[in-house]
Amino acid sequence: MGATFETIVFGVLAMFIIVMSVLTVTTGRIVRSATYLLFVLLGTAGLYFLLGYTFLGSVQIMVYAGGVVVLYVFSILLTSGAGDKAQKARRSRLFAGLVTSVAGAALVLFITMTHHFVPATGNEIPVETGINNIGRMMIGSGKYEYILPFEAVSIFLLACIVGALLIARKR
């Protein structure tokens, strides 16, 4: 029964994400595009929840949906002028992009479908990983512990803050 519920939830989420993704890139207005992106990101977070990765999902919501999209909206508002409405792309270019993307998607889907994945056994029940556990893994230095990337990302973020300030500041 649970599996069936999950299946339904997954189907709804998948449809939602696919439709929103396509809308994101096809809509003419940039603000709408950002909004659709927000929905996609939220849907993705839903997928994470479905997989049992609740922390990842919440990070997704907080960082992406909460941070990045807000940033987008602000910058859209800052930069939007006459170019708010996207210009009509040349038909041939649109067509080429469409064909290539569809062909690529078909190719990759073909590979995905024909490839025989070997799932690990006992994956029916999502294993919830505690935040406590995740925190320890994040700052541990043993095997499967990630202090080095953690620190690297910390410094990277700092550098980004400084860089963004430097680039965007008024002269």
Q: Which of residues 108-137 bind another protein (CB under 8 A)?
A: 108-109, 111-113, 117-120, 122-123, 126-127, 129, 134, 137
CA-closest candidate to residue 77, choices 35, 19, 36? 35
Contact residue for another protein among 12, 67, 140, 147 (CB under 8 A): 67
CB 30 within 8 A of CB 80: yes
93 binds another protein (CB under 8 A): yes
77 binds another protein (CB under 8 A): no
CB 126 within 8 A of CB 51: yes
In Å, what is the CA distance from 30 to each residue of 36, 67, 83, 146, 150?
10, 18, 9, 38, 34
Residues 4-63 that bind another protein (CB under 8 A): 4, 6-7, 10, 14, 17-18, 21-22, 24-25, 30, 33-34, 37, 40-41, 44, 47-48, 50-53, 56, 59-60, 63
The set of residues, in sequence order, having a beta carbon less than 8 Å from that of 11 and lying 6+ positions away, is: none
CB 41 within 8 A of CB 64: yes
76 binds another protein (CB under 8 A): yes
CB of 119 to another protein, least distance (A): 5
CB of 25 to another protein, least distance (A): 3
